[in-house]
Amino acid sequence: MRNSRDQRRPPSRRHPDRRLVAAMMLFYFSAFLLIALKGELRWQGFALAVAVPALIYIATLWLPRFFPADKLLLAIANFLCALGVLVLYSTDLDAGTSRGLQQAIYYSFGIVAMLICILLVRYVRHWKFLIQIIMVGAAGLLVLPLAIGTEQNGATNWIHFAGTSVQPSELVKIALLLILSYYMSRRQFWVWLLFALFCLGVLMLQKDLGTALIYYATTLFLFYASTGNLPLTGVGLLGGAGAAVLGYEMFAHVKKRVAVWQNPWLYYETSGYQIAQMLMAIASGGLFGVGLGLGAPRVIPVYFTDCIFAVICEQFGIVFGILVLVMYGILIVRGTSIATSARHSFYALLAMGATVMLGIQTFVIIGGVLKLIPLTGVTMPFVSYGGTSLISCMGLIGLLQGVASLNQDDLEYDYEISHSLGEELRLPRADRD
């Protein structure tokens, strides 16, 4: 009864995104080549001109051969990762740093992390024991910086071992999502609440307020999504607002951040320097930017992580900056569509959590750079320099892709059943809760 293999497949498993990916690869190939040929010849530029498109190819066209995937989502995430490599490499010029190359290596780690998360979601069927292990492991990992961590930019959230430094709170994000969605889908209220409160407490102790904000917002939003309980969500919101006011009163550096946000020029010589420099960079870029590899990005403190959006705006212009925002928007819309097509509330919540987390983090950092909200030290997803951050963001994409592949399997299952029954193709959305 079966027709040929291709006809059996739902249309979304073909490759409508090949042209898009080809354009992306060409864009990055020529961009790296442009920098490599600027002034003197740079071997790093040539290497990256080949390596980055190759990584894009592997992640967006080659990997999906083995399981169904949402390719638009993949393409956007990879575009952003490669953008990070490009911008970092452009700031390396004549600076003696090699963050671009380093970020390309992190990018490949990120692809591996994504793959692991896809496999995890796709093939693990019995989560109960695994979740318990993850919970203990995550809790241990999160408190580690308090014991052996080092302080950076006022927050104690880094640990160093074997020559590398790791930010556990980034990795625990993935664990948090798994735990939240698992226990929320089973309506075991206290387990996830205690874990979330524990995480928030530890992050407060580490003074990592930006990450705490993301954890808090994700938990609250997922709680609302899973129960629809507006009164309790309101209580959570009030609690968060109370904590914010308390934090403002208690921590001097929070007060300073708010004052700087209101008028960075007043504090230009001290704490306002960073925001003022970012605003000047964005203004210098104008609508269409000063051009790749030009401008003066290195005058901005931490231009390679928190402030990288300002560097993008300077080099490519505010129009491109808005387009980057639009890409995050599309990413969120695709993530939601994956969440809404999931058949099981665990997977639905997992996908939604990953989406909301990326969205909130994007807003917190870009809003901070554009001086819409006070600047908090979080990374710009996929783009900022840093291995842990990139790995965790790609891990979130892995979770989304894992759910997407299960959705696709479900659809095919339905299709086969309806086909074997000789019925017309219908795509039912039966709940299997």
Task: Give me the residues that bind other proteins (CB under 8 A), please.
Answer: 221, 224-226, 228, 265, 268, 276, 279-284, 286, 295-296, 299, 313, 318, 321-322, 325-326, 328-329, 332-333, 336, 339-340, 345, 348, 352, 355-356, 359-360, 362-363, 366-367, 370-372, 431, 433
Q: What is the DSSP letter of 373?
A: S
Q: How many CB atoms lie within 10 A of CB 140?
A: 11
Question: Which is closer to other proteins, CB of 81 or CB of 282?
Answer: 282
Question: Which is closer to other proteins, CB of 226 or CB of 305?
Answer: 226
CA distances in angstroms from 186 to 191, 193, 344, 347, 425, listed in the order given: 10, 13, 11, 12, 33
Contact (Cβ atoms closer than 8 angstroms) between residue 295 and residue 314: yes
Parallel, antiparallel or unpaired: strands 150-152 and 164-166: unpaired
Minimum distance of other proteins from residue 221's CB (angstroms): 6
Minimum distance of other proteins from residue 372's CB (angstroms): 5
Minimum distance of other proteins from residue 276's CB (angstroms): 7
Distance CA 357, CA 174 (A): 10
Tokens matching residue 193? 């609440």
Distance CA 110, CA 103 (A): 10
Tokens matching residue 421? 């029954």
Distance CA 154, CA 2 (A): 63
Minimum distance of other proteins from residue 98's CB (angstroms): 23
Question: Which is closer to other proteins, CB of 179 or CB of 313?
Answer: 313
Question: Which is closer to other proteins, CB of 356 or CB of 391?
Answer: 356
Minimum distance of other proteins from residue 140's CB (angstroms): 31
Minimum distance of other proteins from residue 401's CB (angstroms): 18
Distance CA 128, CA 51 (A): 40
Question: Which is closer to other proteins, CB of 272 or CB of 402?
Answer: 272
Question: Which is closer to other proteins, CB of 154 or CB of 329?
Answer: 329
